[in-house]
Homo-oligomer: A and B are copies of this chain.
Amino acid sequence: MPSPIRVGFIGLSATGGWANASHYPYLPQSPHYKITALCNSSVKSAQESIKAHGLDPSAKAYDSAESLAADPDVDLVVVCVKVDQHYRLAKPALLAGKDVFVEWPLGRNLQEADELCQLAKSKAGRHVVGLEESLAPSTKYIKRIIDEGKIGKVLSSSLWGVGMHSGWGPMDARAANTADVEFGGNLLTIGTMHTLETITSVLGELKSYTPLLANQRPRITVKNDDGTTSTRDKTSHDQVMLQGTFESGAVLSFHFRGGGPFKDTPGIIWRIYGEKGELSIEGDGYALSMGLPLTVKLHDFESEKVQTLDVPVLVEEWKDRKMPPMAHMMGLVYKAFYEEKGYVDFEGAVTRHKMIVDIYARAEK
């Protein structure tokens, strides 16, 4: 790889948002990346962001994905915006043969994801999506415990979790587009798929499964930015269940629902039951994806002892860099991309999009 990889970033605002919290912090701290251009909704907004982040003043400001794609000083285009804009903003970069990093989900639906993937494969560029779970220190640690035989052969696993919106009370206006199933970002495509990515990273892929979806709050209240509230229809699902069998023969029970956890209890409870021991993993609903603290306990059946394991949640060598946990996670994707191994590319993303299509088609509703 050339180093530094010159990044054209789409979606980095001057003030906040997901890109700032997750994708951005790693980049200025890495010798392997350099942001050379930003593309925002306006050139002015891009210029403000360049200034706010103290980027090299030579960094270029764009207001269109096409202009950014045409910049010869950009090797990698990062698309970190709302899901429904991924396709439109990634396509010009792919057509220009750039490397492209698109946040997960790759597209609003399989068609968009598949078209981006075909395009990526027909051009010279490399491609990567923001499915970071297999690289997380906690995921690797839990997998190692199992691989070392600490609980014997895995027999079953059960995961119960909560996350995303669509619970009690009004939804923030900025999250309200997740209420529209056509938007492409919701409890199934984001919360569930990230969590399943963790589960399968540890326990292997599912050989078969049966899904169930429900939209139990089809009408919701939205809290608008001006303080007023309004009501609207919700078409995305707020209950996702799945039971199935892993390639290994172990069985899985999975239930994820929208909204908050039962007060003062973990947002996620994950049990991995083996022939001679069991793991209990508890944390915030997003902990598994975002490197947030987890409690991992091992119950050894023969000794009848329970041991609290010292699971790493952050990247050890980056600890003094003061990046938020999710920036550690995303940094691992950038690192893997630089090293050209271990990241999920658009083909991997399409496989997950196919699973989403399959779940929509086969789920009891």
Contacts and interface: CB of A to CB of B under 8 A. Distances in A.
Interface string A240-278: 011111000111011101011011110001010101101
Contact of A239 (B155, B242, B254): B155
A239 B364 contact: no
A280 to B, nearest CB: 5
Contacts of A257: 155-156, 273
B243 A212 contact: yes
Nearest to A365: B245
A271 B273 CA distance: 21
Most buried by B among A216, A250, A271: A216
A243 B243 contact: yes
Chain A binding site: helix, strand, loop or mixed by DSSP?
strand
Contacts of A280: 262, 265
B158 A212 contact: no
A82 B214 CA distance: 41
Copies in the complex: 2
A299 interface: yes
A213 to B, nearest CB: 9
Contacts of A273: 257, 259
Interface residues of A, number: 47
A228 interface: no
B216 A155 contact: yes
Interface stretch (A3-11, A61-69, A300-308): A300-308
A169 interface: yes
B216 A156 contact: yes
A208 interface: yes
Contact of A262 (B155, B250, B299): B299
A254 B158 CA distance: 10
A210 to B, nearest CB: 5
Nearest to A253: B255
Contacts of A249: 214, 216
Contact of A210 (B156, B245, B364): B364
Given A156-B257, A257-B273, A278-B262, A239 B251 contact: yes
7 contacts: A155-B239, A156-B214, A212-B245, A214-B251, A241-B253, A257-B273, A262-B299
